[in-house]
Amino acid sequence: MFISPQLERLVKSLAHFPGIGRKTATRLAWHIISGDKAFALELAENISKAAEVFQSCIKCNMLSESETCFICAMLERSNASICVVEHSSDVEILENMGEYDGRYFVLGHLLSPIDGYGPEEINSHKLLARIQELEPEEIILALKPSAEGEATMHFLWELLKDSGKKITRLSIGLPFGGDLEYSSSSTLRNAWQRRYGI
C-alpha cells in the first residue's frame, strides 16, 4: 500500500510510543489527517508546548513544569523514606494508591548496558546526593520485576548496603516483566504493603 513520505514520517513518530506497533500507528496517523484539522493542530500545539515546558526536577528528577516538582515543594511530605521508581508516570500510579506520603526519586531508565544505560544514565549520583540531603530511614525500590529491574535493584543495593538505611522492594503480586502501570490497584497495594528487605 502506498503511503506518502509525510504520512510515513508521522507513522514512524507514532510508532515510538510504548505499546504502539506500526499497524496501530498507521491507523492513528490516518485518523489524525482525515479528521478535524483543528483537533490535529491543537494536538500538535499541545505536544510542542509540553515538550518545551517539562524538565527534570532538580531534586528528584521527576518531569515537572517547574524547576522543583510539586511533591518536592510540599513541606508536609515525610522525609523518612524515598521511593525509587523508573519513570515519572510511576509516581502518579503510586500516589493514586493513597498509601505513601514520603519522597520520590525517578531514575529515568533501568540498567541496560546493551541499550547504553549504565550507572550515569540512571542518575545514581543524583540519587546518592538526594539520600544524603534527606537522610531517610527507608529506601523503597519500586521497580518492575524484570531482568533490567532486578539488575538495577541489585546495583542500588550494592551502592547503599553500607549506608545504614533500610532498603526494601515491592513484594509478590507483580508479574515478572510487568510494569507498574499495568498492575491493578489492589495488586499494587498488596505488593506495597508486603514490601521486604533486600
pLDDT of residue 185: 64
Contacts of residue 105, Cβ cutoff 8 Å, sequence gap at least 6 = 60, 61, 82, 83, 84, 85, 126, 127, 130
pLDDT of residue 15: 93
Same fold, 5-53 and 68-197: no
Domain extent listing, the chain: 5-53, 68-197
CA distance 58 to 61: 6
Domain over 5-53 is classified CATH 2.60.40.1180: no
- Residue count (the chain): 198
pLDDT of residue 194: 62
Contacts of residue 57, Cβ cutoff 8 Å, sequence gap at least 6 = 63, 64, 67, 68, 69, 72, 106
pLDDT of residue 9: 93
pLDDT of residue 181: 57
CATH for the stretch 68-197: 3.40.1360.10
pLDDT of residue 193: 63
pLDDT of residue 176: 46
| pLDDT tens, N- to C-terminus, the chain (198 residues) | 567 889 999 999 999 998 899 999 999 999 999 988 999 999 999 999 999 999 999 999 999 999 999 999 999 999 999 999 999 999 998 998 888 999 999 999 999 988 888 888 999 999 999 999 999 999 999 998 888 998 999 999 999 988 899 999 886 654 544 555 545 565 666 666 666 666
